[in-house]
Chain A
């Protein structure tokens, strides 16, 4: 108890932002994740400048040629340069993941805010709706949605975004409920603020921490799910250099890939795993830095 009092006294003398940055950047894994993600983002933005070859340029005689100086990651089942495809793939895979999470975050926040702030029947109705979505194993729900919309990368993004709405909505709702009855909200109401004003100035900013953490961790899963839908033939199609589609195309080219085209499997997979791992490190770091009580 004594220590807590001392700690909270100290906090007052430091800025919250400074605290957060110090906590985040003292976490080695979070720093590693940020560095890796920065490289991926730069790669995605400057793909045409960085990639040594055209990602769609086939070279059939060089099919499955292993890594060399000219082609550091080797060549795939159609002789395309795997390094260039991995670089261009960062654009597609990361954008698809981000778009899905953006959709889930915006819709989920609206649902969670409405349900948590209004309570009563809007809360019951919205949360029962979320329960129905949660009753589906996530990949099955994504399959249903893409079946309805038709298979394409954009529809895969939409489907994955919808799948994640309930998780975001739940996190926001419980955060809203925990701040709804606080004194400063009461004070705003007493000063004559309307519901909308209270939500945007009082409730939402104080619900941000769990929302940011949940969205970041959701991004990791979203990147994986975009790749999985591509594997099922419901996302990016050949010859798009999306990471999941690259693995799928290699797998579908026949058994030979396991013997002579192993590099065509290894490198795109490492790209996915590394990107997802980096996002997970960042998410864990954010959670620990934003919520000192849960620091592990």
Chain B
């Protein structure tokens, strides 16, 4: 139940973010040509003439109803702008997370089982290299190698301009399968590979390191030795006894990676012109569209807190010793 004060704290920080920016918001929205009366009118409409605590109350009330004001650039509600772009970002980040888990966890397990082997040493250095690369550089290098020099993978965007798919859920891969548009599915998949790889690299490396070290810890436990001693086949000891117990810290790490993925999505979507929330955030920052930045930050933090709450609950479900 610590989540409520934390969320209130988040809302206060986000509220003051916009209030702390120098200048009168009403004046900024209307521009320099506006008359004094117009500015005064807008100030009253926006509630800027009220005391700051009342303003915060109004902001919180609106935010709870999903109303975060209108984007200064497009004039449409920020919440609408974000919802329209959510499927593109969800598809990209989910695919990236899938790659990260499917590669990171098994490699971490193998590295732990074969500790100090050449494979262990190589993957450890590779994982450290993975977390040392700036994600926008990695994305650009992928474009240089696979997009330009080898011409293997298409970019930018989610689909070729000539490919058309019927939008149902907004997820290209799902929609194309639902409408049996296999050419569309293939095109969407090819477009997804480079940005997803760029986004997946850091979580993959972190998961690899985390899985390896928690596996190493668990492998020394008595119950693993007992399992070995009573003649359980080695792979069964690794999967059933060791991996299962070592997954707890790994799950926590997966939750924390969601925060990194958000930052990564802003950068990756910008480089690949991926029409999601990340690109919207980048454009809002460039245009100083504070209502939109506020929306991205508030929903981003909310999502992050909720994901980590789910992780905490999962933790208690998976480990009966943990009780809240």
Interface 1/0 per residue, A267-296 and B, CB below 8 Å: 011001100110011001000000000001
| A269 B21 Cβ-Cβ under 8 A | no
A193 to chain B, nearest CB (A): 35
Do A265 and B140 form a contact, CB below 8 Å, given A137-B301, A148-B17?
yes
**Which residues of A sit under 8 angstroms from B281, Cβ to Cβ?**
143
**Which residues of B sit under 8 angstroms from A276, Cβ to Cβ?**
132-134
| B263 A140 Cβ-Cβ under 8 A | yes
Partner of A228, one of B131, B135, B140: B135
Partner of B140, one of A132, A140, A247: A247
Interchain CA distance A262-B148 in the complex, whole Å = 10
Interchain CA distance A71-B232 in the complex, whole Å = 63
The A interface, classified by DSSP as helix, strand, loop or mixed, is helix
Closest to A294 in B: B213
Q: Which of A16-24, A94-102, A230-238 contacts B (4 or more CB under 8 A)?
A: A230-238
Does B254 sit at the interface, judged by CB under 8 A? Answer: no
Does A86 sit at the interface, judged by CB under 8 A? Answer: no
**Which residues of B sit under 8 angstroms from A269, Cβ to Cβ?**
133-134, 137, 140-141
Closest to A244 in B: B134
Interchain CA distance A87-B31 in the complex, whole Å = 43
| B134 A140 Cβ-Cβ under 8 A | no
Instruction: Count CB-based A-B contacts (< 8 Å).
Output: 140
**Which residues of B sit under 8 angstroms from A70, Cβ to Cβ?**
none
B292 to chain A, nearest CB (A): 11
Does A251 sit at the interface, judged by CB under 8 A? Answer: yes
| A147 B304 Cβ-Cβ under 8 A | no
Does B183 sit at the interface, judged by CB under 8 A? Answer: no
Partner of A258, one of B125, B147, B263: B147
**Which residues of B sit under 8 angstroms from A147, Cβ to Cβ?**
17, 21, 285, 290, 293
| B304 A136 Cβ-Cβ under 8 A | yes
Do A137 and B293 form a contact, CB below 8 Å, given A266-B141, A280-B132?
no
Does A106 sit at the interface, judged by CB under 8 A? Answer: no
Does B300 sit at the interface, judged by CB under 8 A? Answer: yes
**Which residues of B sit under 8 angstroms from A251, Cβ to Cβ?**
136, 140, 271
Does B107 sit at the interface, judged by CB under 8 A? Answer: no
| B133 A273 Cβ-Cβ under 8 A | yes
Does B282 sit at the interface, judged by CB under 8 A? Answer: yes
Does B316 sit at the interface, judged by CB under 8 A? Answer: no
**Which residues of A sit under 8 angstroms from B2, Cβ to Cβ?**
128, 131
Interchain CA distance A228-B282 in the complex, whole Å = 12
Do A128 and B148 form a contact, CB below 8 Å, given A220-B132, A273-B133?
no
Closest to A275 in B: B132
| A135 B301 Cβ-Cβ under 8 A | yes
| A135 B134 Cβ-Cβ under 8 A | no
Partner of A138, one of B128, B140, B259: B259
Interchain CA distance A140-B302 in the complex, whole Å = 12
| B285 A280 Cβ-Cβ under 8 A | no
Partner of B293, one of A132, A143, A231, A272: A143
| A228 B136 Cβ-Cβ under 8 A | yes
**Which residues of A sit under 8 angstroms from B301, Cβ to Cβ?**
135-137, 140
| A232 B271 Cβ-Cβ under 8 A | no
Interchain CA distance A174-B95 in the complex, whole Å = 36
**Which residues of A sit under 8 angstroms from B178, Cβ to Cβ?**
none
Q: Most chain-B CB neighbours within 10 Å: which of A139, A144, A276, A284?
A: A144
| B135 A131 Cβ-Cβ under 8 A | no
**Which residues of A sit under 8 angstroms from B305, Cβ to Cβ?**
135
Does A29 sit at the interface, judged by CB under 8 A? Answer: yes
**Which residues of B sit under 8 angstroms from A247, Cβ to Cβ?**
134, 136-137, 140
Q: Which residues of B contact A (CB under 8 A)?
A: 2, 5-7, 9-10, 13-14, 16-17, 20-21, 125, 128-129, 131-137, 140-141, 143-144, 147-148, 213, 216, 258-260, 262-263, 266-267, 270-271, 281-282, 285-286, 290, 293, 296-297, 300-301, 304-305
Interface CB pairs A-B, < 8 A, 23: A128-B6, A135-B304, A136-B304, A137-B259, A137-B304, A138-B259, A138-B260, A143-B285, A144-B293, A148-B17, A220-B131, A234-B285, A244-B136, A247-B136, A248-B136, A258-B144, A265-B137, A269-B133, A269-B134, A272-B133, A272-B134, A273-B129, A280-B132
For the complex of A and B, the 3 pairs showing the least CB-CB separation, nearest first, are: A139-B263, A132-B9, A137-B259
